[in-house]
Structure 1
Amino acid sequence: MTSLSTPVQATPTGHPAYSQTFPCEPSTAEIGRKLVRDALGSWHLDDLADRASLIISELVANAVRHTSCHSIRLMVGQPTGTRVRVGVVDRAPSCLPVLGSATGDDESGRGLLLIDALADRWGYDLRGSGRRPWGKEVWAELRVKDDA
């Protein structure tokens, strides 16, 4: 089990990206925040760290709450020079995210609303072949500020 006293060993995956598998449990959110901050710091994109860390926390919380998966894969990437993507991959392709509406008295149900407010765009991609996906990635993207 990885803890914050053990450095997170992010695995490079080609075009600037990091990916690592962790248990599907609430404590993974803290590890995810560190992974996001470390990746963004290495890319000199610290200005996105607060929003991206909060987003990854919500994505982990949703996977923990709404799936029965034993592990999840955290993803932090820069698919283009103008976007950063954070995501969580789980093995529950039939449990798709739905943007809901929470009332003032609800104690939960605001995660995707928060992600929708913080991210420039978000969504999900099924993983696996056509009719038989084995999982999904729920992701959110943030636009990189242009310093020019």
Structure 2
Amino acid sequence: MSRPTGHPGYSETLPCVEESAEVARSLVRTALATWHLGHLADDGALIVTELVANATKHTGSRVIRVVVARPSATLVRIGVVDKSRTIPEIHKSNGDSLPIDGRGLLLIDELTDRWGTDLYRWGKQVWGELKVEAS
């Protein structure tokens, strides 16, 4: 399948455990460096860390799939696929205290241009997109 930007996508299937975040961060950093977008590496690594953490904490999946893609020349999409069909929700704070759960999605919401969930018959992908500034 041809990609609109001419860039390959990157993906890897990993155990659904917290330790997989390290491999996921490496995958994101590798993809961004290959695409000469190293300036997005810190945000991308933080986004994938939070997505992996959410999958390990809330899905009960045995494995996850980390996906890094360029859906267009101006976007990088970082996603985690799992077997749960439960859609994650941001938990808004009430006053000065932050909620115990949901802080990762608040962070993803702040770091990304947009984020969302794609439902599949057998699970879902939660993703965040980083905007690539035109040079």
Q: How high is the TM-score relative to the length of structure 2?
A: 0.90
- After TM superposition, the structure 1 = structure 2 runs for residues 66-77 of structure 1, keeping only pairs within 5 Å, are 66-77=58-69
1:92 aligns with 2:110: no
Which one-letter code corresponds to 2:30 in the other structure? D
SS in 2 for 1:134: coil
Residues 96-105 or 15-24, more deviating: 96-105
1:42 to 21, 27, 34: 34
2:112 to 119, 123, 128: 119
CA drift of 1:14 comes to 5.2
Corresponding residue for 2:70?
78
Greater RCO, 1 or 2 (C-alpha within 8 Å, sep 6+): 2
How far, CA to CA, are the matches of 2:119 and 2:53 in structure 1?
Answer: 19
Moved over 3 A (4+): 105-108
Percent identity at matched positions?
Answer: 50
Change over 3 Å in CA distance of 1:98–1:81 after alignment to 2 = same
CA drift of 1:106 comes to 4.3
Greater fraction of residues in strand = 1
Aligned residues: 129
Consecutive unaligned residues of structure 1, counting only runs of 5 or more, are 1-12, 128-132
Which one-letter code corresponds to 1:53 in the other structure? A
How far, CA to CA, are the matches of 1:57 and 1:110 in structure 2?
Answer: 12
How far, CA to CA, are the matches of 2:25 and 2:88 in structure 1?
Answer: 21
Q: How high is the TM-score relative to the length of structure 1?
A: 0.82
CA RMSD of aligned residues (A): 1.5
Corresponding residue for 2:123?
135
2:22 to 26, 30, 33: 30
CA drift of 1:135 comes to 0.8
